[in-house]
Structure 1
Amino acid sequence: MTIDTNDILNSILESLDHVDYIRPEEIPNIDLYMDQVTTFMNDHFASTKRYSDDKILTKTMINNYTKNNLLPPSIKKKYSKEHVLLLILIYYFKSILSIKDIETVLTPLREKYFPGEGEISLADLYREVCEMEKSRIEPMKDSVREAYEKSLSSFSDISDTDDQNELRMFTFLCSLSFDVYLKKMMIEKIIDSMASAEEE
Structure 2
Amino acid sequence: MKNIESAMEDLNLNNQLLIEEIPDLDLYMDQVIQIFENKFSNSKRNPDDKVLTKTMINNYAKGKLFFPIENKKYTKKHLILISLIYQLKGALSINDIKITLNRLNELVSEEFDVERLYRSYLKLSEYNTDRFENDVTESIKGVTKEASEFEDENAKYIEQLLMITSLVNMSNYYRRLAEKLVDELQEESNSKKLK
TM-score greater than 0.5 by the shorter chain: yes
Match of 2:115 in 1: 123
Q: CA RMSD in A?
A: 1.6
Aligned equivalents of 1:136 and 1:158: distance in 2? Answer: 33
CA contact (8 A) 1:82 1:115 kept: no
Matches within 5 A, 1:6-85: 6=2, 8-15=3-10, 19-85=14-80
Name which of 84, 107, 111 aligns with 2:106: 111
Q: Hey, what's the Cα distance between the residues in 1 that align with 2:185 and 2:143?
A: 37
Specify the SS of the correspondent of 1:53: coil
Alignment of 1:114-193 (within 5 A): 114-115=108-109, 117-118=111-112, 121-160=113-152, 162-193=153-184
- In 2, Cα distance between equivalents of 1:157 and 1:21: 40
Please give the TM-score of this superposition, normalised by the length of structure 1. Answer: 0.90
Equivalent pairs counted in the alignment come to 191
1: CA distance, partners of 2:89 / 2:11: 20
CA distance in 2, matches of 1:158, 1:21: 40
Question: After the TM superposition, which parts of structure 1 deviate over 4 Å for at least 4 consecutive aligned residues?
Answer: 15-18
From 187, 190, 193, the equivalent of 1:196 is 187
Identity %: 33
Q: CA deviation at 1:140?
A: 1.7
Whether the 8 Å contact between 1:155 and 1:168 is mirrored in structure 2 is yes
* Deviations, residues 73-131 of structure 1 (Å, cap 9, x unaligned): 2201111001111110000011111010000110111000x24612xx11111011111
Q: Cα gap change, 1:135/1:155 in structure 2, threshold over 3 Å: closer, same or farther?
A: closer
User: So what's the TM-score if we normalise by structure 2?
Assistant: 0.92
The answer as to whether partners of 1:42 and 1:55 remain within 8 angstroms in 2 is: yes
- 1:41 partner amino acid: F
| Stretches of structure 2 lacking an aligned partner (at least 5 in a row) | none
Q: 1:99/1:18 Cα in 2 relative to 1: closer, same or farther (>3 Å)?
A: closer
- 1:13, CA displacement in angstroms? 4.0
Q: C-alpha separation between the residues in 1 aligned to 2:13 and 2:187?
A: 38
- Looking at structure 2, the residues matched to 156 and 72 of structure 1 have their Cα atoms a distance apart, in angstroms, of 54
Any gaps of 5 or more consecutive residues in structure 1? none
3-state SS of the aligned residue for 2:146?
coil
